[in-house]
Amino acid sequence: MNITWDTRYPDPAALRREVECMVAAYVDALLRKVPESGLAGMYFKGSAQKEWTSPLDYVPELSDIDVHVLFDDDEGAAKYLGTPEQALELQAAAEAAYFAKVPRPLHVPRPQLLVLNSFLNEPDFVQTPAEAITVLHGRDYPEGAPLEADRVRALDAKRLSGQAEYLTRFPMHAVDKPAKYLREALRGIVWRISPTGPRVLHVLGAPFAEVWTANRTRVVALLEDLGESEFADRYTQFYLSGWEYFLSGYGDHDVGRRALLAGIDVIRRGIGIADSWSP
């Protein structure tokens, strides 16, 4: 499938600059609100960090802008971001910094701030390959305990299968979100869709480092190479419909619903592949 940045889409370089400005706004805000000694590191990762070969690789205001924060100690999040007042103060500072850098943006990138300390304490923490991480401040991205390759593949299968519970909840999650509220339903599903492609590839036998450093254009190509053309098509349609919804000014709610249905098909196929997998 040949999808290119044609004239229907905004200039990707301009979008990339706005993403970088949002990332910088959160780095600036954190460094102003948290003593530098309290911040061990800040990192940019996820689809927005990778190369954008085609519009699949970044969808404005749908794709997450993942900023991971590592506090110097595990109580840092509670100390500096533990109250509503602290959280909103940081949010306001980042917002002001962003619009100071980009007064008339093409879009407002959607940040997702995650505290890395909590992930590091999980027994099944799997480190993202270094190529897919940009260090924004402080030390290198921390390494988790080494896990055997079969165990990591089993974890990916488990996470795919675990989405069955979400599917049972989805109808009542979506049924009362018409018109502008449809964006809430998309917000609830988007973070489930993006990792489904790499996880499916990994369960099907592709190397871990390859699938987790690949952008979505490459993920789709790898899925097609492995005979998962229908899955690749629905994965593609989720993101292209997300683009259409954005370009419509969120006015074409039918295309928003098409994005949701494509996403549901992606999750269903991921569950099916995981449930048929055996070590």
pLDDT of residue 123: 80
pLDDT in tens, 209-228: 999 999 999 999 999 999 99
The model's confidence at residue 148, banded by pLDDT at 50, 70 and 90, is: confident
- Cβ atoms of residues 48 and 63 within 8 Å: yes
pLDDT in tens, 120-144: 888 888 888 888 999 999 999 987 6
Which positions ≥6 away from 63 have C-beta within 8 Å?
46, 47, 48, 110, 190, 194
Asked whether residue 100 carries a pLDDT value surpassing 60, the answer given is yes
Q: Which stretches of 141-207 are DSSP H helices? A: 149-161, 164-174, 182-193, 196-203
Residues comprising the chain, all counted: 279
pLDDT in tens, 149-183: 888 999 999 999 999 999 999 999 999 999 999 99
Asked whether residue 1 carries a pLDDT value surpassing 60, the answer given is no
pLDDT of residue 125: 83
- The Cα 44–Cα 66 span in angstroms is 6
Residues of the chain with pLDDT > 90, as a percent, come to: 87
User: Comparing C-alpha atoms, which of 80, 95, 127 is closest to residue 26?
Assistant: 95
Q: Taking the CB of residue 169, how many other CB atoms lie within 10 A of it? A: 10
Q: Is 136 helix (H, G, I), strand (E, B) or coil?
A: strand
- pTM for the whole thing? 0.94
pLDDT in tens, 260-277: 999 999 999 999 999 998
Mean of the per-residue pLDDT values of the chain = 94
Instruction: Identify the helix (H) or strand (E) that includes residue 248.
Output: none
The model's confidence at residue 24, banded by pLDDT at 50, 70 and 90, is: very high
DSSP state at residue 178: -
Q: Taking the CB of residue 157, how many other CB atoms lie within 10 A of it? A: 23
The model's confidence at residue 198, banded by pLDDT at 50, 70 and 90, is: very high
Which positions ≥6 away from 45 have C-beta within 8 Å?
66, 68, 128, 132, 133, 134
Residues of the chain with pLDDT > 70, as a percent, come to: 98
- Cβ atoms of residues 17 and 201 within 8 Å: no
pLDDT of residue 124: 81
The model's confidence at residue 118, banded by pLDDT at 50, 70 and 90, is: confident
pLDDT of residue 146: 67
Mean pLDDT of the 33-52 span = 94
